[in-house]
Amino acid sequence: MSVDILMPALSPTMEEGTLSKWLKKEGDTVSSGDVIAEIETDKATMEVEAVDEGTLAKILVPEGTEGVKVNAVIAVLAEEGEDAGSVEAKKKPDSSPVPETEKKDEAPASEGAAAPEAPEVKVLSDPSIPEGTSFTETTVRDALRDAMAEEMRRDENVFLMGEEVAQYQGAYKVSRELLQEFGDRRVVDTPITEHGFAGLGVGAAFAGLKPIVEFMTFNFAMQAIDQIVNSAAKTLYMSGGQMGCPIVFRGPNGAAARVGAQHSQDYSSWYGHIPGLKVVAPYDAADAKGLLKAAIRDPNPVIFLEHELLYGHSFPVPDLDDYVLPIGKAAIKRQGTDVTLVAHSRMVGFALEAAEKLAEQGIDAEVVDLRTIRPLDTATVIESVKKTNRIVCCEEGWRFMGVGAEIAATVTAEAFDYLDAPPARVHQKDVPLPYAANLEALSLPNADDIVEAALKVCYVK
């Protein structure tokens, strides 16, 4: 009986990878545990070990092949007593033996995230980009990296610290190659000690340095939230303006994929609640770059919320030497007249996707990307509502005390007479994020939820 060797999933979010190298050739004997190949994901190069024993009968995917889907058959193993020359790969779908439900669940995530590469993005996101500027497709991951590298070149006081940021090159590879350029004085691997190194960063900032503190995810920053809120955010006020804290706390925030409740939480409203903090949550790569540069230069503590599921997505980034965006400014990512969809971070992708679907039904939606949660650009939101008279507030976090609640209250207070329907909210269900694929999908908001809410405020449904 021959055995198919499949392209393995090497991280929670991996969908495909590059088969960079075969370490065994056809005809070689393979024992369980032998390293047979090397696979490169967008995060790392990983070794693939054999699970079964036998003879490597056929290599179906040659080394150097990019974009090999998870679960694709990459080779066939002949078991003992079998003629290696005669085995065939079993008939399999080219990608995935994953149950149908799961495939469906994952689909919106990737499509939603990829959707907004639409050309209107760059035109609308920043009118300050000079006419004729060229753009380079860049992943959010690399845009963040470039922002840090540029600011570290510019200012000797800027340094990066966190778990695995240096030698490992970043748990999500956001700090790739920074150690090589800046050395271990300025790219500092910390022990697993979030409370401690957040406080240490605050002290360094009090002393006039400009730390970038990376949390491997914002879920782990819960250990450090006292230092962020009580020490970083409040000290300027408590010192009567003497003691500034120029620090950036950054890292992935919100839901990843299938990592369960403790690793999947959106902290936008938590930090958005605190006077003395600025809170930034960009969606595309250009905003990620321009706003991270601004955050590093800002003399205040800035919470910079990234999204793991966006790291690998590419967007056009302007080829400018010093692309800095203002914190506290929303961007209209799609103009429309019938309903305002307000979103931040990954939800912007779903909002844009929803807008396309709504367009098919003759509804012209405007998508406002908040980009910053605090200070919140309520003026842009209200201007939009005055035009559309309807609003759907979209966020990945929970509804209760959420960002959408704040926006809905503001719009109701300041644009009451313009509203033709009560503000609607799209959000995560009010439960800890479940692990099971179907329940996870039910819990998280997506483009269809936004469409449904928009139809409701337009009284179509």
CB of 342 to other proteins, least distance (A): 23
Does position 239 interact with other proteins (CB under 8 A)? The reply is yes
CB of 415 to other proteins, least distance (A): 25
Does position 362 interact with other proteins (CB under 8 A)? The reply is no
Cβ–Cβ < 8 Å for 162, 191: no
Contacts (Cβ under 8 Å, ≥6 apart) of 43:
11, 14, 172, 173
Per-position DSSP letters for 258-311, written without gaps between them: S--GGG-B--HHHHHT-TT-EEE---SHHHHHHHHHHHHH-SS-EEEEE-GGGT
Among 17, 199, 252, 423, binds other proteins (CB under 8 A): 199
Does position 236 interact with other proteins (CB under 8 A)? The reply is yes
Among 2, 96, 175, 231, binds other proteins (CB under 8 A): 231
CB of 202 to other proteins, least distance (A): 5
Let me know the angle formed at the C-alpha of 288 by 20 and 304, rounded to the nearest 5 degrees.
Answer: 110
**Which residue out of 163, 214, 263, 307 is catalytically annotated?**
263
Residue 220: CB atoms within 10 A of its CB come to 18
**Which residue out of 15, 151, 163, 194 is catalytically annotated?**
194
Does position 133 interact with other proteins (CB under 8 A)? The reply is no
Does position 162 interact with other proteins (CB under 8 A)? The reply is no
Q: How far is CA 46 from CA 7, 12, 122, 144, in A?
A: 12, 14, 35, 23
Does position 200 interact with other proteins (CB under 8 A)? The reply is yes
Please confirm, yes or no, whether 263 is among the known catalytic residues. Answer: yes
Whole-angstrom distance, CA of residue 353 vs CA of residue 379: 24
CB of 150 to other proteins, least distance (A): 12
User: What SS3 class is residue 154?
Assistant: helix
Q: Which of these segments, 71-79, 256-264, 272-280, 431-439, binds other proteins (CB under 8 A)?
A: 272-280
Strand ranges in 87-209 using DSSP code E only, listed in sequence order: 135-139, 158-162, 187-189
- Closest to 125 measured CA to CA, from 288, 302, 310: 288
Among 72, 77, 205, 343, binds other proteins (CB under 8 A): 205
Cβ–Cβ < 8 Å for 51, 32: yes
Does position 366 interact with other proteins (CB under 8 A)? The reply is no
Residue 234: CB atoms within 10 A of its CB come to 16
Contacts (Cβ under 8 Å, ≥6 apart) of 238:
none
- Closest to 456 measured CA to CA, from 404, 392, 408: 392
Does position 421 interact with other proteins (CB under 8 A)? The reply is no
Among 69, 176, 195, 386, binds other proteins (CB under 8 A): 195
Number of residues in contact with other proteins under rule CB under 8 A? 47
Per-position DSSP letters for 385-416, written without gaps between them: HHHHS-EEEEEEEESTT-HHHHHHHHHHHHSG
Cβ–Cβ < 8 Å for 394, 341: yes
Cβ–Cβ < 8 Å for 176, 205: no
Among 171, 198, 367, 392, binds other proteins (CB under 8 A): 198
CB of 378 to other proteins, least distance (A): 17
Phi/psi of residue 8, each to 5°? -85, 155
Does position 297 interact with other proteins (CB under 8 A)? The reply is yes
Q: Fill in the per-residue mask, 304 to 343: x = in contact with other proteins (CB under 8 A), - = not in contact.
A: ------------------x-x-xx----------------
Does position 183 interact with other proteins (CB under 8 A)? The reply is no
Phi/psi of residue 424, each to 5°? -110, 155
Does position 91 interact with other proteins (CB under 8 A)? The reply is no
Element (H, E) at 297: helix 285-297
CB of 455 to other proteins, least distance (A): 40
Cβ–Cβ < 8 Å for 352, 336: no
- Closest to 103 measured CA to CA, from 69, 67, 65, 140: 69
Rg (CA), the chain: 24
Among 125, 264, 300, 389, binds other proteins (CB under 8 A): 300
Does position 292 interact with other proteins (CB under 8 A)? The reply is no
Among 55, 227, 269, 380, binds other proteins (CB under 8 A): 227
Among 122, 141, 293, 307, binds other proteins (CB under 8 A): 293
Among 81, 130, 208, 362, binds other proteins (CB under 8 A): 208
Please confirm, yes or no, whether 16 is among the known catalytic residues. Answer: no
Among 2, 139, 190, 219, binds other proteins (CB under 8 A): 190
User: How many helices (H) does the chain have, and how many strands (E)?
Assistant: 14, 22
Does position 185 interact with other proteins (CB under 8 A)? The reply is yes
CB of 231 to other proteins, least distance (A): 6
Q: Which of these segments, 8-16, 167-175, 207-215, 391-399, binds other proteins (CB under 8 A)?
A: 207-215
Does position 207 interact with other proteins (CB under 8 A)? The reply is yes
Instruction: Return the active site residues.
Output: 194, 263
Binding site for other proteins (CB under 8 A): 159, 185, 190-191, 193, 195-209, 226-227, 230-231, 235-244, 275-276, 278, 293-294, 297-300, 322, 324, 326-327
